[in-house]
Structure 1
């Protein structure tokens, strides 16, 4: 996992060439910052840190920099952004690169330079000679979106880096409450580790108390209360959101989005799609699909259709000023409560 590369960087064991690519910007940015903090001292960075956009600068210029001896320091650190020539994409820039010079450098990189290729591309073109050669030479970080198992491993590893243990039930709860954004997850784990400084252990109760909820996660909890027909508890969450100055129209939009997701997951599952396939089709994280699937089986199709219709009506009323915005969501929840009572007298 990414922690292996990070541990090597922190141990001052640097590769001459790094290749960072993928769609998870947090992993790429964190790796860059670790390199800056560990390869160079603060004073050395003024003279020996360079960054090039390869859409604007030819590779020759960057390599000349890499081959220049460091000034008042042991190493140079050079970031090369947007190496489109490693992908199957067509470059929008008219910049031409002398790839034969790059090939020569990869065969014999300067021992005093750390060169970092950084791309946000999901995939590189492994058919290209230069891509194959770079992958053979470089220390590689594929910054892909983490699946549920990897996210849980991330939480455990991050806790361990902070010198604390974490209960498995707390791992599950943190992921449910904080979501799948690595930046948010990292901040929450670091915060919990500080809170657990005395006990050196993060448990479920601590996570429940300390983890910040995003609007989306609060809405998920609200919908979950609706799923289990706990309308009074759903109303309490709604009132808490209003106290946090969340706009009713935004709250309604997120509630609608969650119910639509539940409906889509239910329908696609009926057609035989697995959760990974559904995630790919809807372009969302598989963990969100798993949570929605857990809620979907609690509703009949007609119920979901009726709820989405109620939400559409509330949205229309809210946008046309037909009723007080705060009351519209209350009315929606009360109507759900009356429907639940009819089903379960």
Structure 2
């Protein structure tokens, strides 16, 4: 059952499928939809030939069927083929999913049943899930932490023989968030824009093609605040205020919160060697000097005060206390309180 090593488990499952090693049931579940979609799509596209799909491949939806209907479909024999594929999408909406235990106790050997439950996990205490894990694959894909995204981007591109700079990966994470499907889609588009023969992506490629401003982004805002550069910070805040759709307050605060949370961790470390800091903060060694510099401008006490301010302004941006100020005004006010 995959949770903490979703990438490795995903690769293993795909490798088996490519080798035509099929299991009678695949239960794919979890908050991160990317790998669930990838496995489901591979089975849908590759297990049966186009001619076989017309008779032996069926897609159902959890909100439209019950366990009995799924079992009835799965127990049928394939027509003019060796396998039939039954895919149940949106299985998180399936009522009484535990009733599928009746099927997994004696599955149809010629059926490949895929249960795809996105954005949530199925109760692991059910007999159904325990038996499914014994006879098939139970794959759980959890959301990655914000700090894991740059490495995921690097790994994704490495598999395609493309490298990416640390800053470029950070910018993509800041701009796109943690939705792997969205990130993968943007990376595919970004690779298309590379000059012929180019095998590397840098921050200029990202800025030019993803829609991020070179000088006015959360990376530069964190840097300006860390350096106590009030003028640059206010210039970025003003740009964000004029472009709120591309720079929502909630994402700006999340970025600042992550930055200062790591800075607080840095203050608490006894071993401040580059390797130790990178490991503890879960960052690339490339960024360690940024935190070393920020720590000289923000003591541990001041860092705690900034984190409290970020929590306060996160609530204000959501209307707490009857606030009616715009996000741009709030951000400028927040910067003034942080830097003075």
TM-score > 0.5, shorter chain as reference: yes
Deviations 1:217-243 (A, max 9, x none): 944542332122223332343343344
Distance (whole Å) between structure 2 residues aligned to residue 271 and residue 53 of structure 1: 48
Deviations 1:31-58 (A, max 9, x none): 2222222234567555521325399513
Call closer, same or farther: CA 1:324–1:46 in 2, change over 3 Å. Answer: same
Is 1:308 matched up with 2:306? no
Name the counterpart of 2:156. 158
Aligned residues of 1:155 and 1:171 also touching (Cα < 8 A) = yes
Post-superposition shift, 1:244?
Answer: 3.1
RMSD (Å), alpha carbons:
4.9
Name the counterpart of 1:51. 60
TM-score (norm 1): 0.64
Aligned residues of 2:61 and 2:88 also touching (Cα < 8 A) = yes
Name the counterpart of 2:113. 115
Call closer, same or farther: CA 1:140–1:196 in 2, change over 3 Å. Answer: farther
Name the counterpart of 2:237. 238
TM-score (norm 2): 0.65
Call closer, same or farther: CA 1:255–1:82 in 2, change over 3 Å. Answer: closer
Name the counterpart of 1:278. none
Distance (whole Å) between structure 1 residues aligned to residue 148 and residue 42 of structure 2: 21
Post-superposition shift, 1:180?
Answer: 2.8
Residues matched between the structures, number: 307
Post-superposition shift, 1:159?
Answer: 2.0
Post-superposition shift, 1:134?
Answer: 1.7
Post-superposition shift, 1:166?
Answer: 0.7
Name the counterpart of 2:33. 25
Distance (whole Å) between structure 2 residues aligned to residue 187 and residue 265 of structure 1: 29
Is 1:132 matched up with 2:130? yes
State how 1:49-128 maps to structure 2 within 5 Å.
49-53=58-62, 57-59=66-68, 61-71=69-79, 75-80=83-88, 93=95, 97=99, 99-105=101-107, 109-111=108-110, 113-120=111-118, 121-122=120-121, 124-125=123-124
Distance (whole Å) between structure 2 residues aligned to residue 220 and residue 260 of structure 1: 13
Post-superposition shift, 1:268?
Answer: 8.3
Distance (whole Å) between structure 2 residues aligned to residue 262 and residue 172 of structure 1: 12
Is 1:193 matched up with 2:191? yes
Give secondary structure in 1 for the equivalent of 2:87.
Answer: strand
Distance (whole Å) between structure 2 residues aligned to residue 210 and residue 19 of structure 1: 40
Aligned residues of 1:22 and 1:143 also touching (Cα < 8 A) = yes
Name the counterpart of 1:87. none
Deviations 1:63-106 (A, max 9, x none): 3312323357664221246879xxxxxx995688373443011x
Give secondary structure in 1 for the equivalent of 2:210.
Answer: coil
Structure 2 portions without partners, runs of 5+:
1-7, 270-280
